Amino acid sequence: MEDLKVLGEFYFSQLLNKPIRDAKGRRIGQLLDMAMRWDSVSPHVTGIRYTKRVHDLIPIELVDSLDQNGMRLNSTFDPILTCPLHEDETFIGKWLLDKQIIDLEGSKLVRVNDISLSWVSHEDHNYFVLVAVDIGVRGLFRRLGVEFLLSRLENKFVGCQYIKPLENRTSALQLTREKEQMRQLHPADIADIIENMDYKQRANFLDALDSQQAIDALAEMELDIQVEVITQMDEERASDILEEMPPDEAADILSELSSQKSEELLSLMESDDAEDVRELMQYEADTAGSLMTTEYIGLPIWLTAEQAINELRRLAPDAETIYYLYVVDEQETLEGVLSLRELIIASPETTLKSLMHTKFVKISPYDDHEKVADLIHKYGLLAVPVVNSQDQILGIITVDDVLELLMPDRPRVEIYSTLIARRRQAKGGHSE
């Protein structure tokens, strides 16, 4: 705005409890908080709270000037001039100060130690604009009155356009902009944020996420946190999310719950999804069956390469991985394996039977974890099929599940770096 003029810059802590005087110099109270309307352009102050009565506010239009010594009004004060707190307004001190917020730019949970405000003039009107929140140690020392001890330390601000408070203001203040910004965060960042929240914050925050965001974030969490999160949710929503998760992950979570609780959630899921999860839950914790997922690509042996690619387009969205394709007969017996690369470069009319490798690694659902890890490591595999005694494919185990099993205390970034290295080592994608 071309005619916007900044008259002064203040910290909320510097104004808090400072006296308020009218045009005659009479003291009428002190600044206890500021009512704010949060819009998509700039959060701005609408009124000043000067008494314990929440709905008696001094309209911002009555404020003439302010400095470190206090605030002065532009007229003689009369209580009849006060205004109420409206539905789309909130108190910034109560709502933000000392509260945890999400720094959408830094993708992390931070604490508000102070609030930066600008006193501006626009079209002959003066008002406060919330510019940023101070999340640094210097902001905390400023409130204690000893900022000089850290005068050489840089202030640490987060602009108001990048903050997402955890506490709702009112139902009228749910911002589309905030929801769009939340969608830009990586699921791993959302998972980190949730893991640092307390019980109540988690519940409120999860309610604000859409189902896909919650699923993606849940997949990035440790099992104990996943169990806590699912337990905190409403049963209907928890069952919906478990239904959309990979069956092996849903089975891991439900196995940690009481029999009664897990059965309640399973009964609310779609029957087919619940059946997949129940099958996986029957395997002991240290077996290959407990690691496998039923979301794999199984293709009929008689398909051509062109037909297989068309089928792949249909099936791929629900698969755990599509790097390996498993060729089966009418009884789901595993006949061969080929890589996605081999399928893509093949002539369209070539059949899968002539493309597939009939010599491949396979394991039983009752093999132990050590055998699974040894086979994946020995042959540089990205996934290994799990078959029953009749060689019917039951599912697959992917390398990332094995790596997390072997390195439970390693950061995810290290695990995925190892996974990338494994991918580079894999040559043709079957049984090297």
The string of DSSP codes covering 118-143 is EEEEETTEEEEEEEEEE-SHHHHHHH
Q: Does residue 356 fall inside a structural domain?
A: yes
Number of structural domains found in the chain = 3
Question: 254 and 304 in one domain?
Answer: no
Pairing of strands 19-21, 70-73: parallel
**Which residues lie across from 125 on neighbouring strands?**
122
Determine how many CB atoms are found less than 10 A away from the CB of residue 193. Answer: 24
Q: What is the pLDDT of residue 395?
A: 92
pLDDT of 178 above 60: no
Q: Does residue 410 fall inside a structural domain?
A: yes
Confidence of residue 327 (pLDDT cuts 50, 70, 90): very high
Which DSSP category does 150 fall into?
A: G
Question: 246 and 214 in one domain?
Answer: yes
Q: Does residue 314 fall inside a structural domain?
A: yes
Q: At what angle do helices 235-244 and 223-232 cross, to 10 degrees?
A: 140
> CA 119 to CA 129: how far, in whole Å?
7
Look at the block and give the residue holding tokens 């042959």. Answer: 379
Question: 14 and 102 in one domain?
Answer: yes
Question: 139 and 201 in one domain?
Answer: no
Total residues found in the chain within this entry: 432
Q: Does residue 289 fall inside a structural domain?
A: no
Q: Does residue 108 fall inside a structural domain?
A: yes
Residue 277 CB-density burial (10 A; 0-12 exposed, 13-18 middle, 19+ buried)? buried
Which DSSP category does 155 fall into?
A: P
Collapsing DSSP to helix, strand or coil, 167 comes out as coil
Confidence of residue 195 (pLDDT cuts 50, 70, 90): confident
Which range among 136-140, 353-357, 379-383 has the greatest average pLDDT? 353-357
Strand residues in 255-380 grouped as ranges (E): 298-300, 324-328, 334-339
Residue 384 sits in a domain whose CATH number is 3.10.580.10
Question: 360 and 236 in one domain?
Answer: no
- pLDDT over 90, % of the chain: 32
Question: 25 and 118 in one domain?
Answer: yes
**Segments forming the whole domain that contains residue 349:** 298-425
pLDDT of 181 above 70: no
Token readout for 35 is 């009512």
In the chain the first and final C-alpha atoms are separated, in Å, by 65
Collapsing DSSP to helix, strand or coil, 86 comes out as coil
Which DSSP category does 365 fall into?
A: T
Q: Which residues contact 393 (CB under 8 A, 6 or more apart)?
A: 296, 298, 326, 328, 332, 333, 334, 385, 386, 387
Look at the block and give the residue holding tokens 């959309």. Answer: 244
Question: 161 and 18 in one domain?
Answer: yes
Asked if residues 335 and 328 have their Cβ atoms less than 8 Å apart, the reply is yes
Token readout for 420 is 């990338």
Question: 420 and 327 in one domain?
Answer: yes
Q: Does residue 178 fall inside a structural domain?
A: no
Closest CA to 277 of 235, 307, 243: 243
pLDDT tens digit string along 271-322? 888 998 999 999 988 899 988 988 888 999 999 999 999 999 888 887 777 8
Mean pLDDT of the chain: 82
Question: 387 and 248 in one domain?
Answer: no
pLDDT tens digit string along 218-265? 888 888 888 988 888 888 988 999 998 888 889 999 999 998 999 999
Q: What is the pLDDT of residue 350?
A: 94
Closest CA to 219 of 199, 198, 247: 247
Which DSSP category does 293 fall into?
A: B
pLDDT tens digit string along 84-111? 888 888 888 888 888 777 766 666 677 7
Question: 190 and 278 in one domain?
Answer: yes
Question: 235 and 120 in one domain?
Answer: no
Confidence of residue 386 (pLDDT cuts 50, 70, 90): very high
**Of 282, 306, 333, which residue is a domain's last?**
282
> CA 168 to CA 174: how far, in whole Å?
8
Q: Does residue 242 fall inside a structural domain?
A: yes
Question: 349 and 320 in one domain?
Answer: yes
Asked if residues 335 and 329 have their Cβ atoms less than 8 Å apart, the reply is yes
**Of 253, 282, 311, which residue is a domain's last?**
282
Alpha helices (runs of H) in 220-331, residue ranges in sequence order: 223-232, 235-244, 247-255, 259-268, 271-281, 305-315
